[in-house]
Amino acid sequence: MVVGPSMLPTLHMEGDVVLLSHLAFTPQAGDLVVFKSPLDPRRFVVKRVVGVPGDTIRCDGPPPPDALVPLTVPPGTLWVQGDNVANSTDSRHYGPVPIGLVVGRVVMALRWPPVLFTRSQTRPPVDGAP
């Protein structure tokens, strides 16, 4: 069950249940993954994969506030961020996440208790497609 604002608007602050695939998979940018928190291994968190090993991404750097620093994702790790970047503790705070901490890829999100049935989208639309 998801709790917290970091994945708004993709996932609600509380009440969403995510179903995972624990089968072997190769993480791709855009995937939602659940992993053990690098800050507290007793907790599990859900974030979006922004970069995979070898990708160069731009992340928040030191002042000025809008400075973006290029970073290459190291082998064996993922760069993850919440969709609500203004309110998310993610790789910008704890660095790349070892792939070994990933427990699964989100394949479906359900609102619990069900209120409305809507199409869930775990990857961002391509070229503005619905």
The residues assigned a catalytic role are 6, 47
Q: Are strands 56-60 and 68-72 parallel, antiparallel or unpaired?
A: antiparallel
Tell me which residue of 73, 65, 29 sits closest to 47, measured CA to CA.
Answer: 29
Separation CA 120–CA 9 (nearest Å): 11
Q: How far apart are CA 122 and CA 34, in angstroms?
A: 12
Rounded CA gap, 22 and 4, in Å?
23
Query: What is the Cα–Cα distance from 9 to 122, expressed in whole angstroms?
Result: 11
